[in-house]
Chains A and B, each alone.
Chain A
C-alpha cells in the first residue's frame, strides 16, 4: 500500500533562519507531488507542485522553494524565514494519470516563526 510521510511535525524557528520540510511517498512511482500551506483563518494555498524529478512549478512567488531530488521525495525550503511563513504545511501526492485520482495528504507540519 502507498504511504506518505512528512517531517518534522512541529517546529519553532526564529525569523531569518532556514527551513527544510521533507516529504516522502512509498509504494508508488512517478507520483504528482504538492506542497500546500494552510494559514490561520485562510484556506489551502498551493505553493508548489511537481509532475516529475526536477520539475517544479511555483504558484506563489515568495521566499520559499521546493526541490524533488528523487522520484518520491519532495522538499520545501527557505533560506530566511519570515513571520508570515507561519502556518500548517501539507505535502500531498496523487497518481500521475489518469485524471481524477484521489489526492493523499501527509500528516502536516506546524511551523511557527518567532
Chain B
C-alpha cells in the first residue's frame, strides 16, 4: 500500500553541520510530496513541497528534490542552527483520493 518511510532518529548534529534526512515513499499514481516541521511545543507547519518529478522545494535554507526514479524526497540543509531542532515529517498526498500520509517523523537535535 501507500506509505512513507523516514530515517530513524534522533539525529544529533553540531551547529553549522550538513543535514540530510532521508525519505522514501511507495505510492500508486503521482503523489505530491511535503516536508512538515514541528518545533517544540508548537503545531505542525509546512516547510516545503514539490508537486511533480524533479521539482525542488526550498524554504529557510532547507531543500528537497522530488526523485521519481528513486521514489525519494530527502531533506537537506547546508548549515543547521540550534533553532532548527524539531521533529521533521515527510508526507505524500495522493491526488486521486485526497489521502495524506505521513512518515513516522525524525527528531533533529542541534547542539551549539
| A contacts, CB < 8 Å to B | 32, 34, 36, 42-46, 49, 51, 57, 59, 90, 92, 94, 96, 98-103, 105-108
Q: B89, A44: Cβ atoms under 8 Å?
A: yes
Give the residues in chain A near B89, CB-CB below 8 Å.
43-44
Q: Give Cα A34–Cα B100 distance, bound, in whole angstroms.
A: 8
With A43-B103, A43-B105, A99-B51 known as contacts, the answer to whether A94 contacts B44 (CB < 8 A) is: no
Q: Give Cα A103–Cα B46 distance, bound, in whole angstroms.
A: 8
Q: Is the interface of B mostly helix, strand, loop or mixed?
A: strand
Residue of B nearest to A90 (CB): B44
Q: Render B34-54 as a binary contact track against A, CB cut-off 8 A, 1 for contact.
A: 101000000110100101000
Q: Give Cα A108–Cα B97 distance, bound, in whole angstroms.
A: 24
Chain B interface category by residue count: 20 to 34
| The residue from B32, B97, B100, B104 contacting A92, defined by CB atoms under 8 A apart | B100
Instruction: Kindly provide the distance from the CB of B106 to the nearest chain A CB, expressed in whole angstroms.
Output: 9
With A43-B89, A46-B102 known as contacts, the answer to whether A102 contacts B46 (CB < 8 A) is: yes
For chain B residues 76-111, which have a beta carbon within 8 Å of chain A?
A: 89, 91, 93, 95, 97-105
Q: B32, A99: Cβ atoms under 8 Å?
A: yes
User: Which one of B43, B46, B98, B102 has the greatest number of beta carbons of chain A within 10 Å?
Assistant: B98
Instruction: Kindly provide the distance from the CB of A66 to the nearest chain B CB, expressed in whole angstroms.
Output: 14
With A44-B102, A46-B100, A92-B100 known as contacts, the answer to whether A99 contacts B95 (CB < 8 A) is: yes
With A43-B105, A44-B105, A57-B97 known as contacts, the answer to whether A102 contacts B49 (CB < 8 A) is: yes
